[in-house]
Amino acid sequence: MSPVQRTSLQLYRDCMRLIRHIAPGHSPKSMALKSMVRTEFMKSVEEKDEAKIEVLKAGAIRALSNYMLYESGAKDEKLRGAMKRQSDDAVGQISGGRDESAVAA
């Protein structure tokens, strides 16, 4: 089963398991994350359009993946360096693009 083919309930449970992993117990961080996940899922509970549901699920999966990558980068020196270089390059491209458009205007 591909990640996007997971049911909404499976995805919700995955999010809650991840929260238990990253913020165990009843810490303020844990409570805030659970509340945020619950709120985001409840906003779309009445959604019936299959295409929209797939987009929402893909966004949730992307957010989970990004968070796991971020957490892994904090623990792995080599990955942290690669992520910093990637981030610096992206910021440089954005800054460069803005400067060029300002000059053109």
Provide the residue type at 42 as one letter.
M
pTM: 0.56
**pLDDT exceeds 70 at position 66:** yes
User: Per residue in 72-85, pLDDT tens?
Assistant: 777 778 877 887 88
Confidence check: pLDDT of 103 > 50: no
Cα(33)–Cα(28) distance, rounded to whole angstroms?
9
Torsion over CA: 88, 3, 72, 20 (sign): positive
How far is 35 from 41, CA to CA, in rounded Å?
Answer: 10
Q: Which residue has the higher pLDDT, 54 or 95?
A: 54
